[in-house]
Structure 1
Amino acid sequence: MPSRDQHPTVWPALYATELGRIERRLHDGTQNRLAAVTVLLGGARRALNRDPGAADAMLGRAQDATEAALAELRAVVRSFQPPVLAGRGLPGALSALAAASPVACRVDAELPGRCAEEVEATAYFVVAEALANVAGHSNARHATVALRHRDDLLHVAVTDDGRGGARPGAGLDGVRGRVEAVGGTFALTSPSGGPTTLTARLPCGL
């Protein structure tokens, strides 16, 4: 797979493609729904005194449209896929994360194929957050990222040889939420003295 240095024009093109996809989803879905909310709220305001029943009905429709827009925004956010995933696949993208980590990190990946984009993006962000925690808090010298496909699940594990005692916080709570949003499970084991292992199991559908 080409590196950033070998093909400097590839990566901007990948970013542009991904940004275009996000823009289309926001324009075709969320933006149109929010425009409808604005129209409905304006109509409800004008009808409030002369026809309270009609105003109430429009407010109900505005609420429904707002909830639909929020659901679409959540779906768009969950589908964010770093362009490196499209270009290098999940093992390659995680190898790039490992190479950039200040803690020596090895990636051990055995996957028979690609997972859904949303699942790969989730796995990528799980590992990115885990390695950030390793670098910032663990006092570890080494870390390992393992990827396996078993029983139609993508198993992701990040282990470090640091001091242990890690506790869930804002970052890891966000990881848990992202994992559970795609129907996966999340676990953290970190006894005092280490090692610390963060695991996520994601529905893969290979």
Structure 2
Amino acid sequence: MSKTLLVAGVDEVGRGPLVGAVVTAAVILDPDKPIEGLMDSKKLSEKKRDALAEQIRQHALCWALGRAEPHEIDQLNILHATMLAMTRAVDALSIRPDFVKVDGNRCPQWAYASEAVVKGDSKIAEISAASILAKVSRDLEMAELDKQYPQYGFAQHKGYPTAQHMKLLAQYGPTEHYRMSFKPVVMALQQHDGILNSGSLNSGPQYA
């Protein structure tokens, strides 16, 4: 009797935001416990994502999260930091996969047999599951950060460079959770310093 090939799906969330970690997930699904409705996490409502994430955590053979922090993103650049976070997620799986399928057009340099699948989060159930876990996890982190810094609106824009976020960033300046190498953050820091030096902003919270 042939052994079932253990395939892990890997995806990331958070390459585009200006703040917070890039978060990855790796998932090996249980073929005996199929999960209905898996698809690209961006195409699901928050309620549906949360419900599916709970099913994945309960029914998958194993799953794990990986991450690269803002200072690592600044040191390595976002691409290499994402590859590092993906490697950390797969390394953290309690079962070693026979094969890894990664969303996108490249795989990390690792010891796993693997392939990159463009738009894999809408084609391959394991990658869809990873996409959902990564997004639910990162969105929760942004909600927690919003509690610490309510003036930035993290719960709404999730750290992405929306017009409202850019306005608030220019007003308050970046916190330690920002990716200081990202151009909009560099520009906002310069703009914020200019506003402070002109004395036109009331002295509010200051961050290094």
Q: Given the two structures, how large is their TM-score scaled by the length of structure 2? A: 0.25
After TM superposition, the score normalised by the length of structure 1 is: 0.25
Task: Select the structure of larger CA radius of gyration.
Answer: 1
Structure with higher RCO (Cα < 8 A, 6+ apart)? 2
Greater helix content? 1
